[in-house]
A and B are shown apart, each in its own frame.
Chain A
Amino acid sequence: MIRSFRLYEASISTLSVLLLYPYSYEMTISVAVKNLLQDKVRILLSATGVALAVMLILVLNGFVTGLYQQVSAYLDNSPGTLVITQRGVTNMLGATSLIPTDTMDRALELQTVADAVPILSQFVILNLHDLKQPAYLIGYPGGPGTPASRGGPWNIIQGREPLTNGEMVFDQVLAKRHNLRLGDRFELMGQEFKIVGLSDGTTSWMTSFIFLRKVAVEELLRAPEATSFLLVSQEPGIDQAQVINQLKQLEGIEVLPKETIVANDTKLLVEVFSTPLQLMAGIAFFVGVLVVGLVIYTATIERQREYGVLKSIGACNRFLYKLVIIQATVAAALGAIAGIGFALGLAKTIMHFRPEFLIIFESDLIWLALGSSFAISLLAAIVPARTIAKLEPAMVFQRGR
């Protein structure tokens, strides 16, 4: 994640600048911490401010990560490295595609192609308890091997894959939400299906997957032998570009590496949300800055006489800046730790009640939290530091002025 990496870098470089300051650290930190601890409510307030900001940043970030995973879940778990789509179609979810019926045979004729799995998919709106629920039908072929190796469900947690045209595998989150159980009958586009399996990892808050036999979908759509996509596996040891070039000779199709399809789907489905989510994370960040800034600022104003005393006895501005920055940093670090805890808790709660929301924390979570809280503390220290810089050491002597 580029953003968190930059924050991480920024915090490291600022830290090193701090370490180059003169004066013993022991003293500065001890004075700063004592200053801070003198008012417990204050430290609680600023740490909570940071914690909430960090929590929001982490959860929103985890949500975007989750969206990415949800969007790429199907292609990540299906066979092949290339996808053949209808000419002009460059993504999978949210697109309708129909490729010429002879494409599969022609593709398999090529030396470089090891296997090709035909998928017939359709975006549908289900009527569940009078609720309109978008779903993505996947029709995949039967045969030997795991269902996943044929473009079917990759994690059936209950039951089995559909073996006849009247059977289906339902996404478990959607099933639970609508009280559907194994063995239940479900009416889809005027036809009745029996739920024979429940699958996991096949939902997002936008849409859920339903798996049927390919032939069943052909019947539903009244489109015999229709194929939307081909999932192509190439022979090992062959340059992908060569395979693509050969496949491109076929009529009426596009050949795209899986990653390209995922990127396009992501662009379509995630980035729409990711911008406002990033914006919200940014707002959370600045609210955090404001809260900590305000707390540290009032603490500074309250103590400005003491800072003036330090100045008059010969402390230079840098020492005083450091005092303020360390106070902000300690508050922010406490906040960051609490924020990680809050974020984990909130994510758990959200995913418990709304399992279609996937929130994933990556390993750079700690850096993101520490980086943003450290950035918060540095920004929060700017105004107080300026206040201190402007203090006249003489003010300590001039009472009532």
Chain B
Amino acid sequence: MKNALDKNHMIEPCIEKSHQATLFAKNITKRYGTGSTEVIAVRDVSLMIQPGEVVLIMGPSGSGKTTLLLILGALLKPTHGEIRMGEEDLVAMSEKKLPEIRLRKFGFIFQDFNLLSALTVKENVAIAAQLAGLKGRQARAKAETILVDLGLEDRLNFLPEKLSGGEKQRVAIARALVNDPALILADEPTANLDSKIGQEVMRMLRRIAKDQNRSVIIVSHDPRIKEIADRVLWLEDGQFKDMVEMALDPVCGMAVERENAPASLEYQGETYYFCADGCQQEFASSPQHFLSPDHSLQHKV
């Protein structure tokens, strides 16, 4: 499933692109603990998410998926790295400002739904809107609109315990949407749903992303979600591993997916892949310079 916007991935030198991106994460590393108990959950990961893009992060258990998602959602500070959302640097941001960002820029969806048990469906959604400053009646009206849109018109005044798993997850999606977030983050959203319901909910999420131009990052083990994703990233041991064939940009040294490279050039019977047009042009001006052993050594990992 290809999309015009998904040509950008972990492209470090092409900063100009990052301004339009929903989220731009650079060299993220997360270390838990110290000394003998130290775990490096995420190692030097860079990632760019475009508006309307649905990105699926997969990988074995313990590979750091949840950790990365928490960092991208400003719920956890990375040990190193930078996360930018528009002009704002989320890593440098003070703890006091973060709730506001979480409230307005992100929508979170959890594996076990995490609805508030004492509140009805409508109240569960409205509370998020009220936290963002909407008055009670407006908040409830907005909640209702979204819930009806997600097919929950018969469940508005139910308590969560009376709902099926799929319904609960739809309520959670409504809650995540109610403050018009730019980015929705979901951790194993289908793990507690049977596969048919899970598929349905995920298709719903894709439709929302496309219709409303919101970005979605989903962490999942579930390979069936692949079909709704624009891009699938494989995290292993805290690092993205190639799911597709990767090539090194001979100019800047970035890893580039061959299939989706923004630019490529045939030279002396070889195809070279570039992270951006700029690199391609630079290469074209003096290919020999970039192919000399001196230069490529700099990029050997």
Q: A residues within 8 Å of B by Cβ? A: 22-24, 26-27, 30-31, 34-35, 37-38, 305-306, 309-316, 319, 392-394, 396-399
Interface segment, one of B19-27, B116-124, B228-236, B284-292:
B116-124
Contact A393 B102 (CB under 8 A): yes
Answer whether residue B99 sits at the interface, using C-beta atoms and an 8 A cutoff.
Answer: yes
Contact A315 B118 (CB under 8 A): no
Which residues on A sit within 8 Å (CB–CB) of B75?
A: 312, 392-394, 397
A310 to B116 Cα, complex, angstroms? 9
A24 to B136 Cα, complex, angstroms? 7
Contact A313 B102 (CB under 8 A): yes
Contact B108 A313 (CB under 8 A): yes
Q: Mark B77-104, 1 if CB is under 8 A from A, else 0.
A: 0000000000000000000100111111
Contact A313 B131 (CB under 8 A): yes
Contact A313 B117 (CB under 8 A): no
Which residues on B sit within 8 Å (CB–CB) of A27?
A: 126-127, 130, 136, 139
Q: Are A23 and B131 CB-contacts (below 8 A) given A309-B114, A314-B102, A393-B102?
A: yes
Contact B116 A309 (CB under 8 A): yes
Contact A305 B127 (CB under 8 A): no
Classify the interface of chain A: helix, strand, loop or mixed.
helix
Contact A316 B187 (CB under 8 A): no
Which residues on B sit within 8 Å (CB–CB) of A397?
A: 66, 69-70, 75, 110, 187
Question: In this complex, what residue of A is CB-closest to B71?
Answer: A394
Q: List 20 A-B contacts (CB under 8 A).
A: A23-B130, A24-B130, A31-B118, A31-B119, A305-B114, A306-B114, A309-B110, A310-B131, A313-B102, A314-B100, A314-B102, A314-B103, A314-B128, A314-B131, A315-B131, A393-B75, A396-B114, A397-B70, A397-B75, A397-B187
Closest CB pairs A-B (n = 9): A314-B103, A314-B102, A34-B118, A316-B99, A309-B114, A394-B75, A27-B130, A38-B118, A394-B76
Q: Are A38 and B114 CB-contacts (below 8 A) given A24-B130, A314-B99?
A: no
B183-220 at interface with A (beta carbon < 8 Å) = 187
Contact A38 B66 (CB under 8 A): no
Contact B111 A399 (CB under 8 A): yes
A214 to B100 Cα, complex, angstroms? 84
Answer whether residue B241 sits at the interface, using C-beta atoms and an 8 A cutoff.
Answer: no
Contact B118 A35 (CB under 8 A): yes
Q: Are A313 and B103 CB-contacts (below 8 A) given A24-B135, A393-B75?
A: yes
Q: Mark B125-154, 1 if CB is under 8 A from A, else 0.
A: 011101111011001000000000000000
Which residues on B sit within 8 Å (CB–CB) of A306?
A: 114, 116-117
Which residues on A sit within 8 Å (CB–CB) of B43?
A: none
A241 to B66 Cα, complex, angstroms? 85
Answer whether residue B175 sits at the interface, using C-beta atoms and an 8 A cutoff.
Answer: yes
Report B81 CB to chain A, min CB distance, Å: 16
Which residues on B sit within 8 Å (CB–CB) of A399?
A: 111-112
Which residues on A sit within 8 Å (CB–CB) of B123?
A: 30-31
Extra pairs beyond A316-B96, A397-B75, A399-B112 (10, CB < 8 Å): A23-B131, A27-B127, A309-B110, A310-B131, A312-B102, A313-B128, A315-B131, A392-B76, A393-B102, A397-B110
A305 to B160 Cα, complex, angstroms? 15
Instruction: Pick the contact of B99: A34, A35, A305, A315 (CB < 8 A).
Output: A315
Instruction: Pick the contact of A34: B119, B130, B179 (CB < 8 A).
Output: B119
Which among A306, A396, A397, A399 has the highest number of chain B CB atoms within 10 Å?
A397
Which residues on B sit within 8 Å (CB–CB) of A316?
A: 96, 99
Which among B75, B103, B104, B175 has the highest number of chain A CB atoms within 10 Å?
B75
Which among B127, B136, B179 has the highest number of chain A CB atoms within 10 Å?
B127
Which residues on A sit within 8 Å (CB–CB) of B111?
A: 399
Which residues on A sit within 8 Å (CB–CB) of B102?
A: 312-314, 393
Report A28 CB to chain B, min CB distance, Å: 9
Which residues on A sit within 8 Å (CB–CB) of B101?
A: 314
Q: Mark B158-182, 1 if CB is under 8 A from A, else 0.
A: 0000000000000000011001000
A341 to B179 Cα, complex, angstroms? 47
Report A32 CB to chain B, min CB distance, Å: 9
